[in-house]
Structure 1
Amino acid sequence: MALELKAITKRVGQVTHIKETSLVLEPGRFNILLGETGSGKTSLIKLMAGLDRVSSGQIFMDGQDVTGMSPQKRNISLVHQFFVNYPHMTVFDNIASPLRVARLPKSEIQGRVEAAADVLQLRPMLHRRPHELSGGQQQRTALARAIAKESTAVFLDEPLANLDYKLREELRDQLPELFAGRGAVVVYATSEPAEALMLGGKTALMQDGYVTQFGPTAEIYRHPNTLTSARVFSDPPINSAMVAKKGDRAELGHGVGWRLIGPAAELKDGTYTVAVRPNYVSPVRTETAHVPMTGTVQITELSGSESTAHFRMGEETWVSLASGVHPYRVGEDHEFFMDPAHCFYFAPDGALVA
C-alpha cells in the first residue's frame, strides 16, 4: 500500500503554499518531511490527509484516487504536536473513539485498545482522564489511538515537539518499532535534522512549499544535490562561502586555502560555493581538520558535552561544533581548523558538482 502524490499543488488566492509535488511514500519505513517552520510540512500533510483540498494534481492510496475523498473515508490517523485527547473521556475511551465511530464489535474494540495500550505502556492508566496524565502519557495516548485504528496511513506532525528532552528521546527510539510491520504508510514531519537521521527511512527536504530532494535519509545527508538541500539538512547551519578553484588549489580568501583531491580537483577552474558542516570545523588541529582559519568569536553555546562557536571571518560568519568544553572568549580571535575532505562544492546555479 503506497501513498502517491501526482503533481499536487495548493494555492490560496495568489499565494502558492505547496508548489508542484510528486512523491511515492511506501509502508515499511518512516517517510520524513524535514524543513524549517513555514517550509510547508503541515500544509502538505493536510493535503495528504484530506483536511485541505489540492488546487491541482491527484492523490492515490493503494492505487485508488482519493483526491476528493474525506479524511474519514481515507482511513487515516493524524497525531499533532499538541495533545489532542478528549478531556471528558478516559484513556480507554480516547483510544477506542475511532473504533466506535467505525461501529466495530465491542470485543474487537477491547482487544485493539488493550493491545495498543500494552505497546505504549498505558494499561495501568486506561481508566484515568487526560488531565491526570503527564505530557508524555497524553502523547502516548494519541499514538495508541493511531495504532488501534489500524489506519492505512499515519501522519505524525512534529508529535514530540512539546515534550521534554527525556520523553522526546524515549519516544523517538520507540516510534519506528511501534509502527513496524503494521503495513501503514507513516509520514513524520520534523524541523530537526538530527531527528530525521535518528528515525532513518526516507526523507523529503522541504523549503518554501517545495520538496528539494527525496530519498534514503542517510544518503541525502551525505550527498545533498543542491546548496538548498544542504542548508535544510544541517543544524547548526552549514557554513558556506565563495571559493576560487585554480589548478589543484581552492582559495577562500583571508589567507585560507587548501589542496584539492578527488572529484573536486577535476573541476574546471573558476568560482564555486564551498559548504562544510559545523562539526567539520574544529577548534583544535586534528589529523583530518588541518586547514587553519582565524575568526573573531561572536557567540558561544555549551550544550551537554558539545561546544558551539559562531565566529566572524571577513564578511562571513562561520560555525564550529565540537565535542568537549572549549575556552572561547567572545570578541577575541580564535584559530579554527577545517576538514577539507568533508567539503561540498556547488556550481553558481546551486547544483552539487563535487
Structure 2
Amino acid sequence: MIELQDATKKVGNVINIKPTNLTLQTGHFNVLLGATGSGKTSLIKMMAGLDPITSGKILMDGQDVTRLNTQKRQISLVHQFFVNYPHMTVFDNIASPLRVAGMARSEIEGRVEEAAGLLQLRPMLHRRPHELSGGQQQRTALARAIAKESRAVFLDEPLANLDYKLREELREQLPDLFAGRGAVVVYATSEPEEALLLGGYTALMEDGNVTQFGPTADIYRNPENIAAARVFSDPPINVARISITGAQARLAGGVGWTVSNMVDGEYTIAVRPHRVTPIRTSDLDVELTGRVIVTELSGSESSAHFQHGNEAWVSLAAGVHAYQVGEDYSFYMNPAHCRYFGQDGKRVA
C-alpha cells in the first residue's frame, strides 16, 4: 500500500502538486489519468523518491519513506521511452537490478527466465537492445520490473511510443503480468479509454490536483464534477444549462421534464452522446429538435452534431443514419440518463 498524506510539490513559487491525500492498494491497477501537464509524472516521481516532496508524508506499507532515496523504497519504474542498457544483452538488462542487490546467480537466472517467459522474450535473451523492435525493448523494461519483485511498480505512459497494434496487445496483457505479485501498480496515462480497459481504480488529475478517485467504472458512471464527466466521453459529453422551477426542469430551447428533490435554481446537465438518439426508446424521452451541423459515419455508428436552442449537442447512434447537414431532425433523450451539477460544477444529482 502507498499512502500520500497532504503531499505537495512546489518549485519556486509554482505549486506542481497541491495537497494530496491518496491511498493506493495492491491487487489492481491504480491509474493516474489526466492531460499532459496535469501532474501525473510529478506525482510518480514523488512516490518513487526521484523528486523530494515539499510538505506532507509518503508511506509504503505503513513505513514513512518520505526521506528515503529511490533504492531504499524498493520500486521499479518503466517510462514511455525504451530505457535499456545498450551494451548489455536482454538477459543482463533484466538481471541488472538483481545483481546490484547481490542476489545469488541461481536465483537471478530463475527470475530472469520467469520474467522473460511471461513477456515472450526467451528467444531474445542474448540479443542487445538495438537488435530489438520497440515493442520488444519495452517488454524488456517490463520484464526487469517483474523480475525485481518490487514493492511498487510505476508505469509512466509505458505504451505511448508503441504503434497501435502493440499498444493493444500489451495493454491486454499488463493486468495479468502483475496480478498476484503483491506490488502496488501505478499506471499513468492521458487516454481515458486506456483507463477503462485496465479497470481497477483511477485518480483523475487536473492542474496538480486529484479531482476524483475510485473504481474506474464508478467514476465513469458517477462523476463528481463536470470536469470528471467530460473525461470519459468521445465524442464529447453534452453539457447544457437548465433552470428548475417547481419540480420542472427546462432547457433554454424550451424542452422540459419533471424532476424530484431538486431546489429551484440554475443548473448544468451532462448526458453522454450515446444517450441522445434519433429514435425514441422510452415513453420518458424528451424531444430535441435541432439543425445538423456535422455528421460522421464510422461504419457501425452514426454521429450528428446539432444545434438545439443556443446549445451544441452530439448524438451517437448504432447503425447508419443518413443525416443531411443543414437539415432539421428530431433527437430523443431520456432525462434519467442526465447528471445534474450546481453552479460550482459539483454534482448534485
Q: 1:55-134 counterparts in 2 under 5 A?
A: 55-134=54-133
Identify the residue that residue 165 of structure 1 maps to in structure 2: 164
Distance 2:296 2:289 in 1: 19
Distance 1:304 1:85 in 2: 42
Query: Is the partner of 2:37 in helix, strand or coil?
Result: coil
Identify the residue that residue 257 of structure 2 maps to in structure 1: 258
The alpha-carbon deviation at position 68 of structure 1 amounts to 1.8
Query: What letter is aligned with 1:221?
Result: Y
CA contact (8 A) 2:253 2:310 kept: no
The alpha-carbon deviation at position 32 of structure 1 amounts to 1.0
Distance 1:85 1:298 in 2: 50
CA pair 235-34 structure 1, distance change in 2 beyond 3 A = farther
CA contact (8 A) 1:32 1:203 kept: yes
Identify the residue that residue 305 of structure 1 maps to in structure 2: 300
Identify the residue that residue 337 of structure 1 maps to in structure 2: 332
> Which segment is superposed worse, 56-65 or 303-312?
303-312
Identify the residue that residue 30 of structure 2 maps to in structure 1: 31
The alpha-carbon deviation at position 114 of structure 1 amounts to 0.7
CA contact (8 A) 2:252 2:310 kept: no
The alpha-carbon deviation at position 161 of structure 1 amounts to 2.1
Identify the residue that residue 294 of structure 1 maps to in structure 2: 289
Identify the residue that residue 269 of structure 2 maps to in structure 1: 274
CA contact (8 A) 2:6 2:20 kept: yes
> Which segment is superposed worse, 122-131 or 200-209?
122-131
Query: Is the partner of 2:233 in helix, strand or coil?
Result: coil
Distance 1:288 1:306 in 2: 24
The TM-score, its normalising length taken from structure 1, stands at: 0.91
The number of residue pairs the alignment matches comes to 349
CA contact (8 A) 1:158 1:190 kept: yes
Distance 1:143 1:287 in 2: 49
CA contact (8 A) 1:280 1:289 kept: no
Identify the residue that residue 352 of structure 1 maps to in structure 2: 347
The alpha-carbon deviation at position 240 of structure 1 amounts to 1.1
Query: What letter is aligned with 2:184?
Result: V
Query: Is the partner of 2:168 in helix, strand or coil?
Result: helix
Distance 2:302 2:140 in 1: 37
Distance 1:254 1:272 in 2: 15
The alpha-carbon deviation at position 333 of structure 1 amounts to 4.0
Identify the residue that residue 242 of structure 1 maps to in structure 2: 241
CA contact (8 A) 2:243 2:267 kept: yes
The TM-score, its normalising length taken from structure 2, stands at: 0.92
Distance 1:189 1:124 in 2: 30
Identify the residue that residue 198 of structure 2 maps to in structure 1: 199
CA contact (8 A) 1:192 1:235 kept: no
The alpha-carbon deviation at position 107 of structure 1 amounts to 1.3
The alpha-carbon deviation at position 154 of structure 1 amounts to 0.4
Distance 1:12 1:162 in 2: 28
Give structure 1 stretches of 5+ with no counterpart. none
Distance 1:289 1:161 in 2: 43
Residue in structure 2 matching 1:317, options 295, 312, 317: 312
Cα deviation, 1:273-327, whole Å, max 9, x if unaligned, reads 1111222122433337833223344444455634444333344332333333443
Identify the residue that residue 47 of structure 1 maps to in structure 2: 46
CA pair 140-330 structure 1, distance change in 2 beyond 3 A = farther
Paired-residue identity, %: 71
The alpha-carbon deviation at position 7 of structure 1 amounts to 0.3
Query: What letter is aligned with 1:268?
Result: V
Give structure 2 stretches of 5+ with no counterpart. none
CA contact (8 A) 1:297 1:330 kept: yes
The alpha-carbon deviation at position 51 of structure 1 amounts to 1.1
Distance 1:176 1:237 in 2: 28
Aligned alpha-carbon RMSD (Å): 2.1
CA contact (8 A) 2:247 2:262 kept: no
The alpha-carbon deviation at position 334 of structure 1 amounts to 4.1
Query: Is the partner of 2:250 in helix, strand or coil?
Result: strand
CA contact (8 A) 1:297 1:329 kept: yes
